Structures are given as structure tokens and as C-alpha cells.
């Protein structure tokens, strides 16, 4: 990695979005979250395959399967939870920037930083704190579907809930450090290799 002397305003961004400089910590966190998100995205193919098999067996063979139906729900939920952090890293999540986009880059960075530290991170922490015992109970009792022909090992799906939120927390921490890099120059800004300018300062290995 090398130091970046490129000014914020000279880098191309989508309208209303600020270009936040990357730093060593944010780059490593983004790499982890993006890798998990890309790997998890393959689960959507599994969702499609399971749904097609279930539809075929239900309407062509007149043999519906509760296990297949539950599997499609579980795969959908796992894929969604494990790609939430990826959406945050790529800044592709839903945002309401009607007013914020009119502010200066530093003002936008302050809004992002305060929103992450004061609102987002505490809420996600409380959610993880509630969901870890929820998943642990499922592990302890080896929870399975209440349907006789349903799936066992429901604790696997329940464990993905706090895990997915943990990756969202990492993605938000990364963005918070990028805000402090812009505002205070700490951590020191770097130019990541293979920087993807479509997703400002985020990894594209």
C-alpha cells in the first residue's frame, strides 16, 4: 500500500455520495466483509435450484416437500444476512440523501460518523446481544423444525443472524474509520491495490 495524496473532490463518485479515503484498517475490514459477501452470494443459486425443484415436485409430481420449502427459506435468510455487510461496504444499501447530498464532503462525513457511532453501532450491538443467546439455545437443545418432515439443525440458520449482523458492524466500523481519516487524518490514508472506484475505496480483489 502507498500513501494517497489524491484529493477527495478529484475522485469520481455517484451523485450525492462522498469519496471517503481508505486506510489500512478499513481496507482489511472491507476485504473480509466483501469476501464473505461474494462467497455467500453463491447461495442465491442454491435458493433458485431448491425453489425450482420444489415447484416441479409439487406441480408436476404432486409431491410437495416441507423440507425443501424450509430449505429455500433458510438459504434465503442465510444469503440475506451474510450479504448485508457487503451492501454496506459497497454503499448499495438504501439511503435517504435528499438533504445530506447538498452538504460539503466534511459535513457529510460528520453525519455518517455520528450516525454510525451514536445510532447504528449501538442498535446492532443490542441486536447481536439478544440474538446470541437465541442461537445458543437452539444449539443447546439441537432445535429442529416443528413439522415432522421438516429440517433438523435449525440452530445453523439462527446462528447466521448474529453472524450476519457482526459483519455489518465490521463494515460500519470500516466506514467510521474512513470518516475519521477524512476529518482528522487518522488513520493515515492509503491507496489500496486494485481500488474499485465504482464502490469508493472498497476492495475489488
Q: What is the pTM of this model?
A: 0.81
Closest among 205, 203, 202 to 20, alpha carbons compared: 202
When pLDDT is averaged across residues 31-35 and rounded to a whole number, the result is 94
Question: What was the pLDDT predicted at 12?
Answer: 39
Contact in structure between 22 and 201 (CB atoms under 8 Å): yes
Domain residue limits, the chain: 23-92+106-188
The DSSP code sequence of 90-107 is TT-S----TTGGGS-HHH
10-32 confidence digits (pLDDT tens): 343 444 556 889 999 999 999 99
Where is pLDDT greater, at 35 or 93?
35
Question: What was the pLDDT predicted at 93?
Answer: 65
96-150 confidence digits (pLDDT tens): 666 777 788 899 899 999 999 999 999 999 999 999 999 999 999 999 888 888 8
Amino acid at each position: 500500500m502507498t500513501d494517497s495524496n489524491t484529493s477527495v473532490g478529484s475522485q469520481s463518485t455517484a451523485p450525492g455520495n462522498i469519496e471517503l479515503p481508505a486506510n489500512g484498517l478499513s481496507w482489511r475490514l472491507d476485504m473480509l466483509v466483501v469476501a464473505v459477501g461474494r462467497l455467500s452470494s453463491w447461495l442465491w443459486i442454491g435458493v433458485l435450484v431448491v425453489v425450482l425443484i420444489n415447484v416441479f415436485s409439487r406441480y408436476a409430481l404432486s409431491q410437495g416437500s416441507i423440507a425443501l420449502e424450509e430449505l429455500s427459506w433458510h438459504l434465503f435468510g442465510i444469503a440475506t444476512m451474510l450479504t448485508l455487510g457487503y451492501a454496506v461496504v459497497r454503499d448499495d444499501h438504501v439511503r435517504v440523501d435528499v438533504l445530506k447530498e447538498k452538504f460539503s464532503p466534511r459535513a457529510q462525513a460528520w453525519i455518517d460518523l455520528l450516525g454510525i457511532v451514536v445510532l447504528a453501532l449501538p442498535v446492532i450491538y443490542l441486536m447481536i446481544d439478544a440474538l446470541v443467546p437465541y442461537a445458543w439455545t437452539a444449539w443447546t437443545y439441537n432445535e429442529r423444525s416443528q413439522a415432522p418432515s421438516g429440517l433438523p439443525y435449525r440452530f445453523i440458520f439462527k446462528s447466521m443472524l448474529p453472524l450476519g449482523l457482526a459483519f455489518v458492524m465490521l463494515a460500519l466500523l470500516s466506514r467510521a474509520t474512513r470518516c475519521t481519516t477524512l476529518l482528522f487524518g487518522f488513520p493515515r490514508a492509503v491507496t489500496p491495490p486494485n481500488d474499485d472506484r465504482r464502490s469508493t475505496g472498497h476492495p475489488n480483489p
